[in-house]
Amino acid sequence: MSDVVVQIEGLHKSFGDHHVLKGIDLTIHEREVVCVIGPSGSGKSTLLRCVNMLEQPSAGRVWLLGTEVTDPEVDLDEVRTHVGMVFQQFNLFPHKTVLGNLTLAQVKVLGRSRAEAEAVARRNLEQVGLADRADAYPAQLSGGQQQRVAIARALSMDPKLMLFDEPTSALDPELVGDVLAVMRDLAKAGMTMMVVTHEMAFARDVGDRVVFMDDGVVVEDGPAAQVITDPQTERARVFLHRVLHPTEVDDAELGQTDASRAAAASERGRGGHGHRPPRAGGYGAGGASPIKLTDH
């Protein structure tokens, strides 16, 4: 068990009487990249936020790096220093420069000297390809640059685990590749990662495992390529079809055969609007199309 980084047992979470997570069991080992996919509202973000206790679970236990974080006596701040988190909305500190963003917690929490913290910060900025923007303010950066700074900020704490909550969902399509490239490099370097994403190509090619969630439970959990290209459950099949072939989705019943889909196609244009298109569906997602990750 020494290489277990995250262990979740019987995790439940309710907001009021809204039961969002309904018993999750999940184990993540060292150097593993686990991608969490699933429909909107299925509880992916909530699960991720329960891992570093930004949300207090209603029931169940969570261990991080051998420490039980659901234990009320645990020093959460200490545990969190080993767990980096990257948010959909970047959440950079707008009143600090890029360098200030990267050094703040190093100095305040890890007690590093300013010089040491800056050296670490610059090394991480280099790694995400933004060494020249150290003195810029977040507002002066593009979304893609901001998200890479956010990743560098998390990395500056030398985490053992990185959590990503839809890190590319708020980005313009042409900026997504830069961020994914950074994440891919990170995975290659052996970082343990838990990634909530709608980028199926990324999940397939970079992920070791893919977890498909629906309605607060883990429906499917297996090797990345298998879950993405050959899902074993009907729910996963329907979801993946909608994400990978968004133009073929219409308001006829889901999961139908080609024939009935063709019949429904005549209504297309009027229909289909009711569906929320999966956000990243159109982006290099087609199962057959080659994945392209821009290098920085």
> Which residues bind to ligand ATP, rule: CB under 6 A?
15, 18, 20, 38, 40-46
CA distance 142 to 159: 25
Contact 199/180 with Cβ under 8 angstroms?
Answer: yes
Out of 38, 57, 84, 144, the residue judged to bind other proteins by CB under 8 A:
84
Q: Which of residues 206-265 bind other proteins (CB under 8 A)?
A: none
Smallest gap from residue 94 Cβ to other proteins (A)? 5
Smallest gap from residue 108 Cβ to other proteins (A)? 5
Residue with Cβ nearer other proteins (10 or 94): 94
Question: How many other β-carbons are positioned within 10 Å of the β-carbon of residue 65?
Answer: 17
Smallest gap from residue 247 Cβ to ligand ATP (A)? 20
Smallest gap from residue 92 Cβ to other proteins (A)? 7
164 binds other proteins (CB under 8 A): no
Helix (H) or strand (E) holding 260: helix 258-265
CA distance 34 to 210: 6
Residue with Cβ nearer ligand ATP (22 or 82): 22
- Give the C-alpha distances (Å, rounded to integers) separating 244 from 115, 145, 182, 279, 282: 47, 27, 23, 11, 7
Contact 120/77 with Cβ under 8 angstroms?
Answer: no
Residue with Cβ nearer ligand ATP (125 or 218): 218
Strand partners, 222: 210
45 binds Mg ion (CB under 5 A): yes
CA distance 41 to 50: 15
154 binds other proteins (CB under 8 A): yes
Contact 145/130 with Cβ under 8 angstroms?
Answer: yes
Interface residues toward other proteins, by CB under 8 A? 52, 54, 77-78, 80-81, 83-85, 87, 89, 91-96, 104-105, 108-110, 137-140, 150, 153-154, 157
Interface residues toward Mg ion, by CB under 5 A? 45
